[in-house]
Chain A
């Protein structure tokens, strides 16, 4: 009997889950974190240069409608990836604030680091080439043992230079 009651309750919960969620979701704040995660994916095309999270719905009709649509989709239980896919299918990748991380657009994300990595490797090779090959460390003519000595050395030489200018 108990089990039947539980099943019955579960069924009722299942039937009414949509309306329960709807009540909660319809209160989605345009400045909430969950809305930000969804809306900041899409670029507003009103000319403001902002995304649909930032663009002010009170001055931009475009974003007002867009935001309403987003809330509707969120109310339906769509997650940010599904909403993203939906808009990309309609408007293409241009609607996103940043390129997709797949296909050709992946190049946008990867290339800066590939170039940086290659340049770092090249720099390593160049420095290695420049570093004089000296056997023992003692042979290295080091100007100063450490920075403190270096600072002292510089101060001293500047003072000597100053005096030299004064008297010579």
Chain B
């Protein structure tokens, strides 16, 4: 098994190098046979990565502790699902997963029906293969997943209990799918530039890939937040940790990219900007990996410190320099075909402002993340840049972003006249202001909350009007019933209405964030058996403290009966778990969820006489946040769905080449 598993890595590396060289040779000598040989290599590479994955799954599932990776991340009593998902708990395994996704994406792109005969294919393959060579090199020489220990330990170290949560099964997978996914539009963009194709084929061809990568990045962040909320016992979901920032930055730039490409498609403009955005997004995925794996910044997410981060930094630098070189060498061609704007007030302009704010937000996150390093380098003083900084800096930028999101649908392409603006905005603006006044009257008086909710009211109205006007216009021509008209309107313009659903999802998330950040309540109390804790409308009766054993873990739990306004809601059991193979205990919180708020109960400590300390929080509108996340998924899937009226990849009309 040892030989077989290692062979999948080293043969994979050899195949990746061979395929890269032979495809490059095929391109330069215009020899289709060489290119085909390289394409065959892609399949072999995928098989190698798949076999390596299966090998590691097998070793983890059968607890073969003679392997360092299995020993470090599993133990024999671990449930089988966590034994398997330990594959991405450590450096080597997670990079293997990354490599597997990369090879999978390569196969899907290169052998897709739509790309048959496309001269961009060899270039795309070569760019993605360069990535694969790097990852196989890392797996072969730096983070080896199949390393044998000198002795055979009886037991493994076990998996960090924090990672034993359903959220952790999905969170890294979705994040990696997002990270790797951004390599696809990057490879297309580079291939287009190398081939001197300055049209928007690469954008249209990768539109769905970009949305899918964006969706996975969103999911990765959402699952990460959800995991933090239920698992860390902290009651929060986003801490602006450097690693969270690392996944948020490419999300922001990819969002900017998804919007700015519409201007290129419509007006043949912003070509340099779009390519720059995709280069930055791709580079940021590598930068994130550098942060996680290098240990240069303190983070709760950091993998064991290693020199791995340095390799990623070097690879990122090389990739960015080469990409910028290609971009600069085509600069004049890209510049030549630039179009023009007709007005300051138009949908195009609002997209540019959107890009400004999204990239500005990404820069602020980047700057805050690296500032400790900058400070140390410049004046030798380390500083911590944490949650208060990011909340203060990001809040106005992202709120402005929400405002642009609210206004944009109402602006016309080309030019919005004053009459048009008045007609479209007067009523929504009045309603938003009335909503804000009502909020103040009802007691919601914190400035951020009032402004934030006011902007969201505006957003909801403008988006409603967008659907309403579409249905009305359709009905005027077709006499369809409203629901049929809405259905047909949406499925015939998936990207637009999928995008609006995503906007609504973001609005719900924002409402959840504003509510939970501004109006949360919490208390920490030590109570004796039979005593109660009161918070807001809730009364928590502390009934019992007991202990149970599950496998090698000891669990201390409290029975709490919860009443709301005197009405019994039920009995709940917050727990503290002591792991047989892990020093740090973890809190299993009890959450009573409703549309209005979550009651969040943490068993913090206890004494021999049965007294226990509880942290109890009321987190408003948490379900709005999760519901918004769900809408984002629905909207993104709706936008990329390939139905009868789905987005069609256009026919390739670019530069012809003798190899494809």
- A and B associate in one complex: yes
Contact of B340 among A40, A113, A119, A130 (CB under 8 A): A130
Distance A145 CA – B410 CA, assembled complex (angstroms): 12
Binds B, one of A2-10, A13-21, A48-56, A71-79: A48-56
Whether B469 lies near A151 (C-beta < 8 A) is yes
Asked if B371 is at the interface of the complex by the 8 Å CB criterion, the answer is yes
Whether B477 lies near A43 (C-beta < 8 A) is no
User: B492 — which chain A residues lie within 8 A by C-beta?
Assistant: 155, 158, 162
Distance A29 CA – B241 CA, assembled complex (angstroms): 27
A residues 47-104 touching B (CB-CB < 8 Å): 47-51, 54, 56-59, 92-100, 104
Q: A145-B417, A146-B423, A148-B469 are in contact. Are A96 and B615 (CB under 8 A)?
A: no
Whether B412 lies near A43 (C-beta < 8 A) is no
Whether B343 lies near A131 (C-beta < 8 A) is yes
User: B417 — which chain A residues lie within 8 A by C-beta?
Assistant: 142, 145-146
- Chain A: interface size category: 35 or more
Whether A155 lies near B239 (C-beta < 8 A) is no
Whether B356 lies near A93 (C-beta < 8 A) is no
Whether A99 lies near B352 (C-beta < 8 A) is no
From residue B238, how far is it (CB to closest CB) to chain A in Å? 12
Q: A56-B615, A58-B604, A132-B340 are in contact. Are A94 and B384 (CB under 8 A)?
A: yes
User: A158 — which chain B residues lie within 8 A by C-beta?
Assistant: 492-493
Whether B397 lies near A48 (C-beta < 8 A) is no
User: A115 — which chain B residues lie within 8 A by C-beta?
Assistant: 360, 363
Asked if B344 is at the interface of the complex by the 8 Å CB criterion, the answer is yes
Distance A93 CA – B381 CA, assembled complex (angstroms): 7
Whether B341 lies near A127 (C-beta < 8 A) is yes
From residue B536, how far is it (CB to closest CB) to chain A in Å? 13
Asked if A26 is at the interface of the complex by the 8 Å CB criterion, the answer is no
Distance A97 CA – B368 CA, assembled complex (angstroms): 12
Asked if B47 is at the interface of the complex by the 8 Å CB criterion, the answer is no
From residue A149, how far is it (CB to closest CB) to chain B in Å? 8
Distance A54 CA – B354 CA, assembled complex (angstroms): 34
How many residue pairs at the A-B interface have CB separations less than 8 Å?
A: 184
Contact of B477 among A143, A159, A162 (CB under 8 A): A159
From residue A96, how far is it (CB to closest CB) to chain B in Å? 6
Distance A142 CA – B420 CA, assembled complex (angstroms): 12
Whether B388 lies near A131 (C-beta < 8 A) is no
User: B233 — which chain A residues lie within 8 A by C-beta?
Assistant: 56
- What 1/0 mask marks residues of chain A from 125 to 168 whose CB sits below 8 Å from any chain B CB? 00110111000000010111111101110111011001000000
Whether A97 lies near B386 (C-beta < 8 A) is yes
Please give me the residue from chain B that is nearest to A134 by CB atom. B342
Distance A131 CA – B388 CA, assembled complex (angstroms): 40
Asked if B623 is at the interface of the complex by the 8 Å CB criterion, the answer is no
From residue A162, how far is it (CB to closest CB) to chain B in Å? 8
Q: Which of A43, A92, A162 has the most CB of B within 10 A?
A: A43
Asked if B299 is at the interface of the complex by the 8 Å CB criterion, the answer is yes
Asked if B304 is at the interface of the complex by the 8 Å CB criterion, the answer is no
User: B387 — which chain A residues lie within 8 A by C-beta?
Assistant: 51, 97-98
B residues 44-58 touching A (CB-CB < 8 Å): none
Whether A155 lies near B477 (C-beta < 8 A) is yes
Contact of A97 among B384, B478, B615 (CB under 8 A): B384
Please give me the residue from chain B that is nearest to A147 by CB atom. B412
Distance A119 CA – B357 CA, assembled complex (angstroms): 10
Please give me the residue from chain A that is nearest to B269 by CB atom. A130
Asked if B385 is at the interface of the complex by the 8 Å CB criterion, the answer is yes
Asked if B3 is at the interface of the complex by the 8 Å CB criterion, the answer is no
User: B381 — which chain A residues lie within 8 A by C-beta?
Assistant: 92-94, 104
Asked if A108 is at the interface of the complex by the 8 Å CB criterion, the answer is yes
User: A94 — which chain B residues lie within 8 A by C-beta?
Assistant: 381-384
From residue B436, how far is it (CB to closest CB) to chain A in Å? 25
Distance A165 CA – B252 CA, assembled complex (angstroms): 38
Whether B341 lies near A147 (C-beta < 8 A) is no
Distance A49 CA – B233 CA, assembled complex (angstroms): 13
User: B382 — which chain A residues lie within 8 A by C-beta?
Assistant: 92-94
Distance A135 CA – B407 CA, assembled complex (angstroms): 28
User: A112 — which chain B residues lie within 8 A by C-beta?
Assistant: 360, 363-364, 367-368, 393, 397
Whether A58 lies near B477 (C-beta < 8 A) is no
From residue A134, how far is it (CB to closest CB) to chain B in Å? 8
From residue A44, how far is it (CB to closest CB) to chain B in Å? 10
Asked if B474 is at the interface of the complex by the 8 Å CB criterion, the answer is yes
Contact of A99 among B389, B420, B473 (CB under 8 A): B389
Whether B344 lies near A127 (C-beta < 8 A) is yes
Whether A104 lies near B379 (C-beta < 8 A) is yes
Asked if B353 is at the interface of the complex by the 8 Å CB criterion, the answer is yes
Asked if A111 is at the interface of the complex by the 8 Å CB criterion, the answer is yes
Distance A148 CA – B468 CA, assembled complex (angstroms): 10
From residue A136, how far is it (CB to closest CB) to chain B in Å? 13
Asked if B375 is at the interface of the complex by the 8 Å CB criterion, the answer is yes
Whether A146 lies near B424 (C-beta < 8 A) is yes
User: A148 — which chain B residues lie within 8 A by C-beta?
Assistant: 469, 472-473
Distance A130 CA – B359 CA, assembled complex (angstroms): 21
Whether A116 lies near B360 (C-beta < 8 A) is yes
User: A97 — which chain B residues lie within 8 A by C-beta?
Assistant: 384, 386-389
User: B654 — which chain A residues lie within 8 A by C-beta?
Assistant: none
Asked if B411 is at the interface of the complex by the 8 Å CB criterion, the answer is yes
User: A56 — which chain B residues lie within 8 A by C-beta?
Assistant: 233, 587, 602, 604, 615
Please give me the residue from chain B that is nearest to A48 by CB atom. B300
User: B236 — which chain A residues lie within 8 A by C-beta?
Assistant: 54
Q: A58-B613, A112-B367 are in contact. Are A98 and B341 (CB under 8 A)?
A: no
Asked if B149 is at the interface of the complex by the 8 Å CB criterion, the answer is no
Whether B522 lies near A31 (C-beta < 8 A) is yes
Q: A49-B239, A49-B300, A127-B352 are in contact. Are A99 and B375 (CB under 8 A)?
A: yes
User: A119 — which chain B residues lie within 8 A by C-beta?
Assistant: 356, 359-360
Whether A152 lies near B473 (C-beta < 8 A) is yes
Q: Which of A93, A108, A109 has the most CB of B within 10 A?
A: A108
Contact of B384 among A95, A128, A145, A152 (CB under 8 A): A95
Q: Which of B342, B423, B466, B478 has the most CB of A within 10 A?
A: B342
Q: A59-B585, A98-B389 are in contact. Are A31 and B524 (CB under 8 A)?
A: yes
Whether B234 lies near A155 (C-beta < 8 A) is no
Please give me the residue from chain B that is nearest to A152 by CB atom. B473
User: B349 — which chain A residues lie within 8 A by C-beta?
Assistant: 127
- What 1/0 mask marks residues of chain A from 104 to 124 whose CB sits below 8 Å from any chain B CB? 110111011101100110010
Distance A102 CA – B77 CA, assembled complex (angstroms): 54
From residue A26, how far is it (CB to closest CB) to chain B in Å? 15
Distance A100 CA – B524 CA, assembled complex (angstroms): 30
Can you report 9 residue pairs joining A to B where beta carbons are below 8 Å apart? A31-B522, A49-B299, A93-B382, A98-B389, A99-B385, A111-B367, A112-B368, A112-B393, A142-B412
Q: Which residues of B contact A (CB under 8 A)?
A: 233-234, 236, 239, 241, 269, 298-300, 340-344, 349, 352-353, 356-357, 359-360, 363-364, 367-368, 371, 374-375, 378-379, 381-389, 392-393, 397, 409-417, 419-420, 423-424, 466, 469-470, 472-474, 476-478, 489, 492-493, 522-524, 584-585, 587, 602, 604-605, 613, 615
Other than the known A58-B613, A146-B412, A147-B466, what 18 A-B pairs have Cβ atoms closer than 8 Å?
Answer: A30-B524, A31-B524, A31-B615, A43-B386, A59-B585, A97-B387, A99-B385, A112-B364, A115-B360, A123-B352, A131-B340, A132-B342, A140-B342, A142-B342, A142-B417, A145-B417, A156-B477, A158-B493
